[in-house]
Amino acid sequence: MKLEVDVKKRLGAFTLDIQFSTMGNRLGIFGPSGSGKSTLVRLLAGLDAPDSGIIKLDGEVLSDRQKSVTPHKRRIGVVFQDSHLFTHLGVRENLLYGYKRLPRAERKIDPDELIEALDLGALMQRGVHTLSGGERRRVALGRAVLASPRLLLLDEPLTGLDDKLRYQIIPYLHMVLDRFGIPTLFISHSVEEMRLMTNRVLLLEGGGFAGEIKPAELAMQSLARGQEGYVNLMRLCDPSPVGDLCAYQWGDNELILLDTSEAPRVMARLEARDVVLFKNHPTSASARNLLTCTVSGLVPLGNRVAVELLCGGQLLVSQIVREAVVELGLREGSVVVAAIKATSFRILYGEPRRRGRGALYGYEQEG
Amino acid sequence: MLFNPADLQVIALSIKVASVATLVAVPVGFFAAAWLGLTRFPGRFLVDGLLSLPLVLPPVVVGYFLLVLLGDKGLFGPLLSTLGIKIIFNWKGAVVASVVVGFPLLLRSIRLGIESIDEGMLHAARTLGASWSDIIFSVVLPQSWRAILVGATLMFARSLGEFGATVMLAGSIPGRTQTIPLAIFDYTNQPGGDAGALKLCLVSIALSFAVLLISEHLAKRAKRAVSR
């Protein structure tokens, strides 16, 4: 998917003045509140017209001085933060609303397959008022996907959900978007969501374009600004029980976790400050995980340093104070032992079994 | 017998006029409300004001203007007579008077309902491939049932009570254009007509109350339908 945007839009005291051209299938738009994310979504979907400029999707002009393709002909789907399900229709009718309006030749997605992928079977006869927050978002996602959009805008689809629900929905998002091959633009102000959902991030600031970076770089930037500590997001697989604990495979390493999941593949979270570094291998330690790593980079962040470590083909970040770096004599290429307690990991979600076509999980492989 | 044949004729005519007026006005009112409530165009406030004017004008004044427009010598008189449509001193005149006087109430109710529809739902429908005309029928109409019912009730009740504009446009011809309020007025001007007037007053109350109950019942069902 290729997206070219060069537009201006004034709304009261706020002006969106943005130019960018980008390619990718898992793009993110990141920015604080008031940076113009929602305005951009409305312009892309055609729900608002720019004051001037041009918007092109895959070379086709959606909006310029001469014309503006009406939203119902753009085939750009939107999953809104508040779901906006049709309250006068049941779940089935909601799901099929866009599908029924597609010409038969363009109905590429089988509703039954989607209903199965999103686990909506049990909800089909229900009214939308009886759905929980998470169920509503799944129905809204299904409804947008069934309309076979050329581009799907996910406008803060996880905002307002608690962590439990959020991590329940993320795997569904991945599975559906990958399985049906839908390019997405994921809009959020959460660094973690950007890392879990996108592989390129467009930055918005004060109504303007502030650059395009990788999600991991975004996480580093936000660490540098002291906004939040760095979090390692690690995809683990092949669990096997070890006493009360559970061993997971992470690249060539084996990690021992207290947290477990029934899924064969999981996404786990580890705070960088919970990774303790030793110069020499400790003879005995309470930490269940001792990984031998090589320092691949040192990123100073005020009085702290983010130490990038390579271990078993995977990247791990530890966050320590500057004094510790000096004392351990750390430099690029140094070999250290990273100690991580089994309790420091938190499994965010289990990935559903992979079915169907295509190279799945297009987002960045971190950790 | 409780009612004499003339009274029954009056009651039947009143129901006929109010029903036809409501049936004619509801579709027009819905589309006008959708147009005014969902679009922004220059002159919107002027159109809104003109359509609402009968609400604040004395009905007699409305009747007078209708007479000027639709009378035999009026602006549209020749056109109507060419088409063979007779409005003046005819039950159709009572319908026209009721529609014009009751329309603002209908329009306002439906418009309030339409304006309270979640805008995001309309946006969702557009991004899902529905054109505006499609959205009007697939989202706006089913979401507005309650408001339409309330508006129709008000319209019907207003028609049952319409006097001023009706008397100007249709007159008060017993058996042809005399509705309940006109007949009550007639009774009170006759010696010994009090009992007749009272009977028709009670009929008027009963009819209005029945309409209110039916509308409440339907509105409850409509509410259930939009909150499935």
pLDDT confidence of residue A359: 36
Q: A60-64, A116-120, A220-224, B162-166 — which is least confidently predicted?
A: A220-224
pLDDT of B222 strictly over 60: yes
pLDDT of B126 strictly over 80: yes
Whether residues B130 and A97 touch (CB distance < 8 A) is answered with: yes
Find chain B residues with C-beta within 8 A of A43's C-beta: none
Confidence of residue A354 (pLDDT cuts 50, 70, 90): low
- How much is the ipTM here? 0.86
Reported for A158-165, long-range contacts at CB under 8 A and 24+ positions apart, including other chains, are: A158/A188, A158/A190, A158/A193, A159/A81, A159/A188, A159/A189, A159/A190, A160/A81, A160/A133, A161/A133, A161/A134, A161/A137, A165/A133, A165/A134
pLDDT of A358 strictly over 80: no
Q: pLDDT per residue over B62-115, tens digit each?
A: 999 999 999 888 889 888 888 888 888 999 999 999 999 999 999 999 999 999
Confidence of residue A367 (pLDDT cuts 50, 70, 90): very low
Whether residues B124 and A78 touch (CB distance < 8 A) is answered with: yes
Find chain A residues with C-beta within 8 A of B138's C-beta: 97
- Nearest one of A47, A123, A39, A169 to B128, comparing CA atoms: A47
Say how far apart CA B20 and CA A274 lie, in whole Å.
77
pLDDT confidence of residue A227: 63
Average pLDDT over residues A105-126: 90
Say how far apart CA A353 and CA B193 lie, in whole Å.
86
Find chain A residues with C-beta within 8 A of B228's C-beta: 87-90, 127-129
pLDDT confidence of residue B228: 60
Average pLDDT over residues A233-249: 93
Residue found by looking up tokens 């920015």 in the block: A31
Residue A334 · residue A253 · CB < 8 Å: no
Find chain B residues with C-beta within 8 A of A97's C-beta: 125, 128, 130, 138
Instruction: Report the predicted TM-score, pTM, of the whole model to 2 decimal places.
Output: 0.85
Render the burial of A197-232: b for 16+ CB within 10 Å, e for the rest: bbbbbbbbeebbbeebbbbbebbbbbbeeeeebbbb
Adjacency order of strands within the sheet including A231-242: A253-257, A245-250, A231-242, A265-271, A346-350
Whether residues A45 and B128 touch (CB distance < 8 A) is answered with: no
Q: pLDDT per residue over A152-181, tens digit each?
A: 999 999 988 888 888 888 988 888 888 888
Whether residues B228 and A90 touch (CB distance < 8 A) is answered with: yes
pLDDT confidence of residue A301: 81
Average pLDDT over residues B195-202: 94
- Identity of the residue numbered B210: A
Say how far apart CA B121 and CA A282 lie, in whole Å.
60
Helix (H) and strand (E) counts in chain A = 9, 20
Average pLDDT over residues A317-332: 93
Contact A136/B at CB under 8 A: no
Confidence of residue A325 (pLDDT cuts 50, 70, 90): very high
pLDDT confidence of residue A119: 87
pLDDT of A356 strictly over 70: no
Chain B closest CA to A130's CA: distance in Å? Answer: 8
Q: pLDDT per residue over A51-87, tens digit each?
A: 999 999 999 999 998 889 999 999 999 999 899 999 9
pLDDT confidence of residue B54: 92
pLDDT of A141 strictly over 90: yes
Average pLDDT over residues B200-204: 94
Provide the Cα torsion A111, B122, B226, B222; round to 10°: -130
pLDDT confidence of residue B18: 96
The CATH superfamily holding the domain B5-227 is MetI-like (1.10.3720.10)
Say how far apart CA B160 and CA B97 lie, in whole Å.
11
Domain ranges of chain B: 5-227
pLDDT of A33 strictly over 70: yes
Say how far apart CA B163 and CA A116 lie, in whole Å.
63
Report residue A216 as tokens: 């991991």
